């Protein structure tokens, strides 16, 4: 096992385009790190540089203490599972898993022991004699994982390993990968553009945009204290809403009405800016008619016309269009395109209690939890209201939770035979 430390990593392909631009990222020993970002942001390129399948243009890549920039992939002792993993159709499950050990000329009885141990872990024991063609999609995926973990690798690297599975299987495999990683405690870097995978699998998530690292933190930190407009819009589904606003006194004037800021810090954060973008997550809106007087006083109430509603049983989404100044409307449209969002118009999405009777075409009162909103600079995208104390507290909580989880795992695995070969 080993830490992976990237310092000022740059990758330029032939045409000089920086696919990865000055990325510094330290993956701790045993940590599960997620790389996430829209298509083309450089996730696979970065992963391939870790494994050694791609030359590093500039910067330093270390595995443990060793500088590996020029070390051949074979000598890095890492294990990778690709998006389009290929199993050997003419080999049995056993031989597919054993493949890397055979390549490394590991003695036969040792191969047998390790393959059986791995198969046990992945619940493939009864399928060892089958050919891949006779397995389900999920079982094939597990064989591919088996091939990766059968080696005593220092780290696992996954490039969207679940993207070609259907939604249900993806969910199952997600939990399995999570359990497996925690049980083995092996340093893991996992690339995905799936929201749910990013939020649920990792200890920490690194968000990339156009080759540049935007923010690294626990899922909770990214969600509650995003560094900028991009991270705020990318993490969370449906996305955070961004309403243009001007500040007058302590009131943010938005196209949907005024939001009174009780927090002096937020008022001050606006500074001399004539316009800011107010970020409100869909769930921080409520149907004002269902909110108590006391709670109502702790937030602000906006009046708006609902365009479309979607009732999902456990939640009700209402879409509320608004007018934005043309330059900001363009900025918001560009952002939503970059985020691969289908939300092309300037409209707010609000998630209401399913018992709400709000319907399309209706003028409604929406309560906004103003304590949870963030303010962004429209030109730089910077989050003006990020709370550094809160960020530090969240990081501490995440570390403590991770430690506790690993300790519980260690206790639990003491009762079963050791998984690590030798």
Ligand X SMILES: Nc1ncnc2c1ncn2[C@@H]1O[C@H](COP(=O)(O)OP(=O)(O)OP(=O)(O)O)[C@@H](O)[C@H]1O
41 binds ligand X (CB under 6 A): yes
CB of 33 to Mg ion, least distance (A): 16
44 binding ligand X? (CB under 6 A): yes
Nearer to Mg ion, 21 or 44 (CB): 44
CB atoms within 10 A of CB 6: 22
Element (H, E) at 192: strand 187-192
| Among positions 23, 43, 56, 291, the unique one binding ligand X when judged by CB under 6 A | 43
Q: Is 400 exposed, middle or buried (0-12, 13-18, 19+ CB in 10 A)?
A: exposed
- The per-residue DSSP string of 26-65 comes to EEPTT-EEEEE-STTSSHHHHHHHHHTSS--SEEEEEETT
Query: C-beta of 235: minimal distance to Mg ion in Å?
Result: 19
Place of tokens 């340093």: 187
Residue 45 binding target from ligand X, Mg ion, none, CB below 5 to 8 Å by type? ligand X
Binding of residue 279 to ligand X (CB under 6 A):
no
CA distance 392 to 390: 5
CB-count burial class (<10 Å; 0-12, 13-18, 19+) for 415: exposed
CA distance 212 to 20: 6
The residues that touch Mg ion, with contacts defined as CB under 5 A, are 44
Taking the complex as a whole, how short is the minimal distance between the CB of residue 21 and ligand X, in angstroms?
Answer: 10
> What kind and span of H or E run contains 62?
strand 58-63
41 binds, among Mg ion, ligand X, none (CB under 5 to 8 A by kind): ligand X
Interface with ligand X, residue 40, by CB under 6 A: yes
Instruction: Retrieve residue 287's tokens.
Output: 């149907």
Query: What values do phi and psi take at 324, rounded to 5?
Result: -130, 150
Number of residues that bind ligand X (CB under 6 A): 11
Quote the least distance from Cβ 210 to ligand X, whole Å: 8
Whose Cβ is closer to Mg ion: residue 206's or residue 373's? 206
Q: How many CB atoms within 10 Å of residue 211?
A: 23
Interaction partner, residue 193 (Mg ion, ligand X, none; CB < 5-8 Å by kind): ligand X
User: Binding ligand X by CB under 6 A: which of 4, 9, 25, 45?
Assistant: 45
Q: How far is the CB of 288 from ligand X (least distance, A)?
A: 40
Q: Measure the CA–CA gap between 286 and 283, rounded to whole angstroms.
A: 7
Min separation Cβ 58 and Mg ion, Å: 21
Assess contact for 279 and 374: CB atoms under 8 A.
yes
260 binds, among ligand X, Mg ion, none (CB under 5 to 8 A by kind): none
Q: Which of 19, 49, 150, 324 binds ligand X (CB under 6 A)?
A: 19
Binding of ligand X by 13 (CB under 6 A): yes
Binding site for ligand X (CB under 6 A): 13, 19, 37, 39-45, 193
């Amino acid at each position: 096992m080993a830490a992976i430390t990237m310092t000022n990593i740059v990758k330029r392909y032939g045409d000089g385009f920086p696919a990865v631009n000055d990325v510094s990222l330290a993956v701790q020993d045993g940590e599960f790190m997620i790389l996430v970002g829209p298509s083309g942001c450089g996730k696979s390129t970065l992963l391939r540089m870790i494994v050694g399948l791609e030359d590093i243009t500039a910067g330093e890549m270390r595995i443990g203490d060793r500088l590996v920039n020029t070390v051949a992939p074979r000598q890095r002792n890492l294990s990778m599972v690709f998006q389009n993993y290929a199993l050997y159709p003419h080999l049995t499950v056993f031989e597919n898993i054993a493949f890397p050990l055979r390549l490394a000329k590991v003695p036969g009885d040792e191969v047998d022991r390790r393959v059986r141990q791995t198969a046990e872990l992945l619940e493939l024991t009864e399928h060892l004699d089958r050919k891949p063609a006779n397995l389900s999609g999920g079982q094939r995926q597990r064989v591919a994982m088996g091939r990766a973990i059968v080696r005593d690798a220092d780290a696992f690297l996954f490039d969207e390993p679940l993207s070609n599975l259907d939604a249900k299987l993806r969910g199952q495999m997600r939990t399995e990968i999570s359990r497996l990683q925690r049980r083995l405690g092996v340093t893991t870097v996992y690339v995905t553009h799936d929201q749910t995978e990013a939020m649920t699998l990792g200890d920490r998530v690194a968000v990339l945009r156009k080759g540049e690292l935007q923010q690294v933190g626990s899922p909770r930190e990214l969600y509650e204290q995003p560094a900028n407009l991009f991270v705020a819009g990318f993490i969370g589904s449906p996305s955070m809403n961004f309403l243009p606003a001007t500040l007058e006194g302590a009131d943010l004037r938005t196209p949907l009405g005024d939001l009174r800021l009780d927090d002096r810090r937020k008022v001050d954060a606006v500074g001399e800016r004539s316009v800011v973008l107010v970020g409100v997550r869909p769930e921080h809106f409520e149907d004002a008619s269902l909110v108590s007087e006391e709670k109502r006083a702790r937030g602000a109430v906006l009046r708006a016309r609902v365009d479309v509603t979607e009732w999902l049983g456990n939640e009700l989404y209402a879409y509320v269009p608004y007018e934005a100044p043309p330059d900001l409307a363009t900025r918001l449209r560009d952002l939503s395109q970059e985020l691969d969002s289908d939300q092309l118009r300037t409209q707010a999405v609000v998630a209401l209690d399913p018992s709400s009777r709000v319907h399309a075409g209706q003028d409604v009162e929406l309560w906004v939890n103003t304590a949870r909103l963030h303010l962004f600079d429209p030109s730089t995208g910077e989050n003006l209201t990020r709370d550094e104390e809160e960020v530090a507290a969240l990081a501490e909580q995440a570390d403590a939770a991770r430690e506790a989880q690993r300790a519980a795992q260690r206790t639990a695995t003491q009762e079963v035979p050791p998984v690590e070969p030798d």
